[in-house]
Structures are given as structure tokens and as C-alpha cells.
Amino acid sequence: MERTLLILKPDCVARGLCGEVLARLERKGLRLVALKLLNVPRALAEKHYAEHRDKPFFGELLEFITAGAAVPLVVEGRNAVAVCRKLLGKTDGAESEPGTIRGDFGNSRSFNLVHGSDSLASAEREIALWFKPEELVENKLFETKFAV
């Protein structure tokens, strides 16, 4: 079982697409472990996107991610990191396959609705950045015989 961090970005929240995205994650069999709504502090955004600090779009990216409410969440499941990246599609909505979240709902390279950790190491770093250990919720009801 893996855990990964997703963020429903401010465009996703503003466009009322949170339910749609959460429904796709749940139907895929991913388990919700943590979820909250917040206005992302700039310092947290800078840490989260530190790998992009020298990119020309870094300023624009920080402005975007701090522009309005966002929903970070942790999900758990088999191969959760790669499965979530597949559900998201490519970075640019224009290049993302129909059937993916970015492919179905976006046509922008910057405003692409949902973040997903790109590796297990990133997932561990990002989960620790966005959530305190006690915010990761155990849910025994998930342990059913036919859990996906």
C-alpha cells in the first residue's frame, strides 16, 4: 500500500469540481486518509514547489496556488502514486487524454486542477509538509474483504 498527496488547486475549487475529482478517486478504490480546505500560505507553497524555484513560471505558479482556497488530501491504495498520476493525466490539459481529470476538465498548462506527488519520495515529503501525523486518519471500516 502506498500513500500519496493530491491538491485540488484553486481553479478546481473555484470551478466546483472537487466532488467530481473526489468521486473519481473513490471509485478507483483509493481510500481517503486526510483532507482539508485552506488558503495556502505563501511559505508553504514555496516549500511545496521548491524544485521549480528557478523556473520562469515559478512566480506565476505561487500566485496561482495561493489565489484562493485549495484542498490538500492524502489517499492510500495499491500503487497510489502512479495510479493518481494516471488519473490526473499530463501536466498540460491540452495534451492529456480524455478520461483523465486534466484531459476532461482543463485546457491549460498552468491551471491544471489537481496536483499529485510524482514519486514515493515526493509523496512522503509532501504529506509531511501538508499534514501533521495526527491528521492522517485511520479508518477500520475500509478493511473489507473486497477492498480494491
Binding site for ligand IDP (CB under 6 A): 52, 57, 60-61, 91, 109-110, 112, 115, 118
- Between CA 110 and CA 93 the distance in angstroms is 9
Identify the CA nearest to 113 among candidates 136, 131, 133, 90.
Answer: 90
Contact predicate 127/5, CB 8 Å: yes
- Residue 91, binding choice from ligand IDP, Mg ion, none, Cβ under 5 to 8 Å by partner class: ligand IDP
Q: How far is the CB of 2 from Mg ion (least distance, A)?
A: 17
Whether 115 is catalytic is yes
**Active site residue: 33, 77, 115, 126, which one?**
115
* CA-wise closest residue to 136 among 11, 32, 26: 32
Restricting to residues 95-124, name those near Mg ion by CB under 5 A.
Answer: 118
Min separation Cβ 118 and Mg ion, Å: 5
Where in the sequence numbering do the catalytic residues fall? 115
